Amino acid sequence: MRIVKLLMLAALLALTLSPKAAYAAENPIAVYIQDEELSFDQPPVITSGRVLVPFRPIAEGLGVDVSWDSKTKQVTAQYESPFKSKIVTIPVNGKTATVDGAIVSLDVPAKIINGRIMVPIRFLTQSFGAKVNWNSKSREIDITIWELKDTVFNQFAKDGSVVNTYTESGFNQKLSNMYDNEELVATSKWTNLMDPGKIGVVAQHYGFFLINGKYHEISLVLDGELNKQGNFDGDVIFELYDDQTGEFVDSYYTYIEDVAYNKVVKYNVYNAVQAAGWE
């Protein structure tokens, strides 16, 4: 999982452009999932007031498995996790689709355009629980899977214990007035709209520390999820910058798997320095 520049987005607004406009638009429609743009060899189109998008890139961007049945001419998107299971089938040129076996009416049918299966984006994404926002001016579609639940702002001691807790404004003020060997940490939890059993965790650490006889600016990021047992699986990315010049010095990466969350939240710069062998 990568939770980068996550945005809270509203539900997709109904589109009111005519079918003719779908193929005569000045600019192509851009689609983003968690602020990352998708690429298509067949761009999205607007038909009967609804946006149709290439099935496979969107489904795979949502993290679901995809398949195509050439005999029945229908596509299937299936999501499986320890927390949730869902199957959506959409026939080409059909007026209905199924969600976990239940029949659902479609505003517009799926189509094949230039050899690509195009499906209604609102139906597909919302069937899996994701949110969609359409910006008619910029002709951009933003799809949200992760939403921010809460963020806590702390100062860590060397042993990973919390010595101070801040409001967001107080944390930002402290960031601009840090002393050497102080470690500030902003820890966010995210909920997964497609899979409520999943909890994402991002902890951003800041500090200036003496390493190998010289002070460095530190960036430590933990980015991952809580698994079914409530333990943490995720990435640790640690970067050093020269305190005087701001130039990049070195980096360290590792993966933490199935570690108790109360230990993960105490993982700090000193742990990363030891793991990287920089002491």
Domain ranges of the chain: 19-144, 147-276
19-144, what's its fold?
A: Copper Amine Oxidase; Chain A, domain 1 (3.30.457)
State in Å, rounded, how far the first CA of the chain is from the last one: 30
Tell me how far apart the alpha carbons of residues 29 and 170 are, in angstroms, rounded to a whole number.
40
- Please provide residue 157's backbone torsions phi and psi, each rounded to the nearest 5 degrees: -90, 175
Per DSSP, the three-state class of 120 is strand
183, containing H or E segment: strand 183-192
- Calpha distance 93→138 (Å, rounded): 29
pLDDT of residue 26: 61
Q: What is the pLDDT of residue 4?
A: 39
What pairs with residue 244 in β-bridges?
none
pLDDT at 101: 95
Q: How far is CA 108 from CA 25, 32, 171, in A?
A: 19, 22, 49
Order of strands across the sheet that contains 111-113:
45-47, 50-54, 116-120, 111-113
- The pLDDT value given to residue 229: 86
pLDDT tens over the chain, length 279 residues = 444 333 322 332 233 333 434 444 468 899 999 999 999 999 999 998 899 999 999 999 999 999 999 999 999 999 998 888 999 999 999 999 999 999 999 999 999 999 999 999 999 999 999 999 999 889 999 999 999 999 999 999 988 899 999 999 999 999 999 999 999 999 999 999 999 888 999 999 999 998 888 899 999 999 999 988 889 999 999 999 998 898 999 999 999 999 999 888 889 998 888 888 886
